[in-house]
Structure 1
Amino acid sequence: MEKNTAVIVFESLASSIRLDIFRFLVRAAPHGCVAGQIASELDLPATNLSFHLKALTQAGLLSVEQEGRYMRYRANTALMFGLVDYLTAECCNGVACAPEAEKSGKNK
C-alpha cells in the first residue's frame, strides 16, 4: 500500500459516522447490506447516510452493487487488511510483538 492511499483511508474513517458504517459492514461481510438496512441499524437519516456511503466508496473502503432498485454495500476487507499490513510492516524491527506474544512473555 502506498502512503497516499493510507492517508485517504484514514481521512475517510476520521468521521465517527463513517467509522460506524464501515465497522457495521465489516461485521456483515462478505454479503454486505443494502442502504436501507444500514440506515435502520445505525439510526441514520437516508440523506446523511448517502453522503457518508459516497465518501467511503470514493476512498475505496466500500464497493457498491445495484440489486434491482437497491444498492448493496460491502466493506473492502482486502483494503482493510492491506492497511493493517502497511501499519505493521516495520513493527518492532521484525521482532515478534503481537499482543499474544506480549501476554505470554515471549517478547521480553
Structure 2
Amino acid sequence: MDNDSAIVALGALAQGTRLDAFRLLVRYEPDGLAAGEVARALDVPQNTMSVHLATLARAGLIHAERRSRIINYRADLDALRSMMLFLVKDCCGGRAELCHPLADDLLACRAT
C-alpha cells in the first residue's frame, strides 16, 4: 500500500456509518451480508447505506457480489491487513521490543 491508497482507505473509514458498516462486515466474514441487512443492522436508510457501501468499495475495503437480485458485501481482509501493515511498517524505529504490546494486542484479537 502507498500513501495515496492509505489516504483513500482511511478517508472512507473517517465517517461513523462507514466505519460501523466496515466493522460489521469484518465480523461477518467470510459470508458477508446483503446490503439491506447492513442497513437494517445499523438502522440506516437503504439508499443512504448504498452510498456508504459504494464509498467503501471504491476505497478497496469491501467487495460486492451479486447473488440473483441481492448484492452481498464482504470486507476485504487483505486490504485491511495491507492498511494495518502500512500504518505500523516503521513501528518504533525498527526496535521490535517496543512494538510487542501492539503485536500482542493484535494477536489477542485472533483468539477472541
Aligned residues: 102
TM-score using structure 1 length: 0.89
Question: Using the alignment, how far apart are the partners of 2:92 and 2:50 within structure 1?
Answer: 40
What's the % identity of the aligned pairs?
A: 39
Bigger mean CA deviation after superposition, 90-99 or 34-43:
90-99
For structure 1, the 5+ residue unaligned runs are 103-108
Matches within 5 A, 1:9-28: 9-28=9-28
Question: Using the alignment, how far apart are the partners of 2:35 and 2:63 within structure 1?
Answer: 12
Question: Using the alignment, how far apart are the partners of 2:102 and 2:87 within structure 1?
Answer: 18
SS at match of 1:25: helix
CA apart distance, 1:39:
1.0
- Over 6 Å off, 4+ runs: none
TM-score using structure 2 length: 0.86
Bigger mean CA deviation after superposition, 87-96 or 13-22:
87-96
Q: Which has the higher helix share?
A: 2
SS at match of 1:74: strand
CA apart distance, 1:98:
2.4
For structure 2, the 5+ residue unaligned runs are 105-112
- Across the aligned residues of Structure 1 and Structure 2, the Cα RMSD in angstroms comes to 1.5
Larger Rg: 1
